[in-house]
Structure 1
Amino acid sequence: MANKNRDSFIVDNVTSINLNDTEDVTKAIAEAEIVTTAVGISALNDIAETIAQEIERRLINNKDLNPLHIIACENGIGSR
């Protein structure tokens, strides 16, 4: 962590998926509780469309699922 003590935490049950692997992206979003992105701010438009389509599919096919939380891990300071 970015604190005075530089504490660290182990996080498990995390998966990384390439956006071009559409089958894995679709399956992961269908089953996920949390989706994060770290694609660079210039690529957010590209990934946002894919995520939006999968959210719509998720809502249609799995109405009983918990909400999906999405976190964009992008540094947008000074971006163009």
Structure 2
Amino acid sequence: WAVWGGGTYKFNEKTSFNLQASADDWKNVGVAANVAYDIVPGFTVTAEVDYLHAGKFDEGSTDNVAWTPADKKNSVGGLLRFQRSF
């Protein structure tokens, strides 16, 4: 089994907070959170933080298919995106 969910909260016309989370029966958990800000119409800057907990990371099971190239059981990452719409 697996479950995904997420949502958005708009602080104002230009700023929104987005959160997504996932989990599965292999005890994998993922969370992504970002803040998107519209600088001007058509130009958005988004800062994001991501977290991954690889539940069966160290198990030598044949059913443990790696869906991510994580090299640690717990990983944190982030990105800064500049998006222009024409």
Structure index of larger Rg: 2
Normalised TM-score (structure 2): 0.27
Which structure has the highest strand share of the two? 2
Q: Which has the higher contact order (CA 8 A, sep 6+)?
A: 1
Normalised TM-score (structure 1): 0.29
Which structure has the highest helix share of the two? 1
